[in-house]
Amino acid sequence: MAQRGDRIMLAHGGGGILMKELISFIVDKLGSNGAAPLQDSAVFDAPGARLAFTTDSFVVDPLFFPGGDIGHLAVCGTVNDLAVCGAEPVSLSLAFIIEEGLPFQTLERIIESIARVTREVGMAVVTGDTKVVEKGKADRLFINTAGIGLVRQGIELSSAAAGPGDAVIVNGTIGDHGLAILSRREGLDFGSDLVSDTAPLSRIILPLLEKTGGIKAMRDATRGGLAAVLNEIASDSGVCIRLKEESIPVREAVRRGCELMGYEPLHIANEGKFVAIVEGEKAEEAVSLMREHDLGRDAAIIGWVDEGPAGHVILKTLLGGERVVDVPYGDLLPRIC
Amino acid sequence: MAQRGDRIMLAHGGGGILMKELISFIVDKLGSNGAAPLQDSAVFDAPGARLAFTTDSFVVDPLFFPGGDIGHLAVCGTVNDLAVCGAEPVSLSLAFIIEEGLPFQTLERIIESIARVTREVGMAVVTGDTKVVEKGKADRLFINTAGIGLVRQGIELSSAAAGPGDAVIVNGTIGDHGLAILSRREGLDFGSDLVSDTAPLSRIILPLLEKTGGIKAMRDATRGGLAAVLNEIASDSGVCIRLKEESIPVREAVRRGCELMGYEPLHIANEGKFVAIVEGEKAEEAVSLMREHDLGRDAAIIGWVDEGPAGHVILKTLLGGERVVDVPYGDLLPRIC
C-alpha cells in the first residue's frame, strides 16, 4: 500500500501497469467471487435459459450510511431488479468511476462490502471496468452494476397482471433507506433505529416463489417509493389500487422524520422492500411465509386491487378519508441511490 | 422542449414524473431499438446459448470529437469487447450519469448517435438507468453500457492460445482515436485526416470468423494501445511477439502528433482496431478478407509469434535495431474513453 501511494491517481485509469495493479487490487479484494474481472468480457454457458438483464448506476451521497454503503447498495439494487422478475442472480458486472484522490482505504472498504453481499447471494462478479477522472470532475465514487439472472421455470410476472380481488403486500417498513440517507447527510437525528433497509431481496423472493403460488407481479420500491411502483402497476394493469394507511408498516423514526421534513413516506425510496400483487386467496399464506424470513418480519397486506377508477392509487387515511396517492413530481431526495 | 426546460434538472433523477419524462425522451430517441428501457429489467430467451457479458463506463472528454461522440463510443466499446470473444452483440444496457444543467440538446444528439450505431449492428437497448447529480459533481455526462452477446458455435478464442509461427494482424492504422481526442481537447492541429477510428468491430470480425479458420486470439486495442494487448497475449501464452515497425500502419498525422508530444503510437488508444493472432498459413487469407471490408482497408501482418523470450514484445525498428515494447506505466491521455 505504501509503495503505490494511499490515493487513486489519474494514472490508475490509463490502461497501463498502474491500472493493472488497481484491477488486481479489486479482484483480490473480491475474493473467490471475482475470478474473472481481469478480463474485458466473461463467457459462460446458459443452456435452455430464460434470462433477465438489468443495470443501475449508483451515485449515493454519502458513500457510507447507517445500514450500508454504495458497494452494498450497488449489488443489492441489481439483485433486487432481477429478483422481482423471478430471476436467480447469476452474473454481475462491476464498473467504477473514481475521482482522482479517492483513498484506497475507502475503495477497499467498499469492495469488501461488495464481496460479502455477492457471496451471500451466490452471484459472481464476472466482468468489470475502472475509470478515473480528474479531481472535481466526479464526486468520489460512482458505481455501475449490471446483472444477468436466470428466470425460474414457470414464473410469469407482469405489472400488467393485477386484477380485482388481488392483495397488495409489502415485505416490511417503508421509507427507511431514504430517511437514513437524509439523516446522515443533513446531520439530523430522527431516532437511533433509523438504518437503511438495503438488502438482497432474492433471499426472500426466490423461496417465496417456490413455496407459494398466486404471485402475479412484483416490484422493488426504490426511487419514487411505494407510490411510484403502485401507480405503475395500477396504470399497466388498468386497475385501481386501494391502500389502508393503518396497514402500511412505517417505523416511528421515519414517521417523525417525514413529519418534520414535510415528506410523504409513500414517496420515500427503499432498497430492501418489494411490493407483491398476490391472488386474494393466497395472500395470507404469502404474508405468513414472508414473516418467517428475516427480510419479511413486518410483511403486511396493505391494500387490495379494485376495478376502478383505473390507473389510480387511493389511500384510506387513518381518519377515514380517502385521497389519491400521486407519483412525486421531481426529486425529493437527490442522490438517494 | 420549451415546456420542460432546455436543461436537465436534478429533479429529473428523482423517480417521479420528471424522471419518467426523461426516460420517455430517451426511449423515444432510441427508436425501435429501445422499446424496453422503461423497464428496470429485460427478460429474454437464450436457448442453448453460450453467452459473453461485458461492461464499460465512458468518461471521454470532450463529449464530441472528430469521428464520434461519447454515445457512439459507448456502444462501440461494448460491441467490440463482445466481438473479440467471437460473440454476436444482442442486448445492450444503457446507463446515464448526468450533471445537472446538461442541455437536453446535447443528450439528444448523443442518444441519436447511440440509436444509429445500435441499429447498424442489430443490437437492442433492452434496459437502462438514469441518475442526475448536482452541478459540479460530475463532468456533464458519463455513460455505462453493458452488453450480452451470443458466442458463435465452435469459436474458441483465448489470449493464452498464441503459439510460435502464428501471425499478428491488425485491421488498420493505430493511434487515430487517442490523437484525435488529444487534438480536439488541446486545440492542436496535427492534420486534417485525423479522426477517431471508433467503429463497431462486430461488422468485420463476425464475417471474418465465418469465412476463415485459424484465428486463435483477438483483442481490441483500447487504453494502453497495441502495446498493452500484445504484452497481455505474450504473457498469457508464454511466447514472444516480434513486431516489424515498417509493417505497422500509422497515419502521417498520428506519427507527426506523437513525435511532437513525445508519445509512442503503440501506446495510444484505438476504438476501432483489433489484433488477431492467426495461424501462419492462414494469415495472408485473413488479411485479404479484412482488406475487402471498410473497417479493414489497411489491415496488415505486423509481426509473428516466436518462442522466446517468453512474455515479451520486441520491435524491430526501421533502422534495424531491436527494442522491447513495454506496457505504459500510467496514463498518457486521461479520459480517452
Q: Which three cell numbers stand for residue B35?
A: 422499446
Q: What is the CATH number of the domain that holds A241?
A: 3.90.650.10
- Name chain A contacts of B63, Cβ cutoff 8 Å: none
If you average pLDDT over residues B68-78, what whole number do you get? 97
Domain housing B238: 167-324
- Quote the pLDDT of residue B44: 66
pLDDT for res B32: 56
Residues A127 and A178 in one domain: no
pLDDT in tens, B128-181: 899 999 999 999 999 999 999 998 888 889 999 999 999 999 999 999 999 999
Is B329 part of a structural domain of the chain? no
In this complex, do A42 and B56 lie within 8 Å of one another by their Cβ atoms? no
Indicate if B115 and B83 belong to the same structural domain: yes
Distance from CA of A198 to the nearest CA of B (A): 17
- Do residue B130 and residue B226 come from a single domain? no
C-alpha cell at A225: 417509493
* A80 occurs within a structural domain: yes
Residue B332 lies in a domain: no
Residue A157 is assigned to a structural domain of this protein: no
Domain membership flag for residue A309: yes
AA identity, residue A16:
G
B171 and B59 in a common domain: no
The domain boundary, picked from A151, A181, A206, lies at A151
pLDDT at B35 over 60: no
Can you tell me the distance from the alpha carbon of B231 to that of A308, in angstroms, rounded to the nearest whole number? 66
The answer to whether position A255 is within a domain reads yes
Q: B121 and B175 share a domain?
A: no
Residue of B nearest to A52 (CA): B43
Residue A309 has pLDDT above 90, yes or no: yes
Considering only residues B193 and B94, tell me which one the structure prediction assigns the higher pLDDT.
B94
Distances, alpha carbon A296 to alpha carbons A29, A207, A254, B13, in Å: 31, 12, 18, 29
Contact A332 B14 (CB under 8 A): yes
Taking residues A96-114, report their average pLDDT: 93
> How many percent of chain B have pLDDT more than 90?
72
Higher local confidence (pLDDT), A221 or A328? A221
Claim to verify: residue A140 and residue A171 sit in the same structural domain = no
Residues B26 and B70 both lie in one domain = yes
Residues B217-269: tens digit of each pLDDT: 999 999 899 999 999 999 999 999 999 999 999 999 999 999 988 999 999 99
Q: Are residues A139 and A179 in the same domain?
A: no
Q: Are residues B235 and B273 in the same domain?
A: yes
* Furthest C-alpha separation in chain A: 67
Whether B46 sits inside 8 A of A50 (CB atoms) is yes
What's the domain count of chain A? 2
Question: Per-residue pLDDT averaged across A204-229, rounded?
Answer: 95
Is the domain of A175 the same as that of A142?
no
What is the nearest CA distance from B310 to chain A, expressed in angstroms?
18
How far A83 CA lies from chain B's nearest CA (Å)? 10
Which CATH number does the domain housing residue B131 bear? 3.30.1330.10
pLDDT band at A42 (very low <50, low <70, confident <90, very high): low
Q: Is the pLDDT of residue A329 over 70?
A: yes
B144 contacts A95? CB cut-off 8 A:
yes
Q: How many C-beta atoms surround the C-beta of residue A186 within 10 A? A: 9
pLDDT score for A47: 67
Q: Is residue B158, in this structure, part of any structural domain at all?
A: no
| Structural domain contains residue A5 | no
Same domain, residue pair A80 and A173:
no
Q: Element (H or E) spanning A49, and its range?
A: strand A49-58
Select the more confidently predicted residue: A207 or B2.
A207
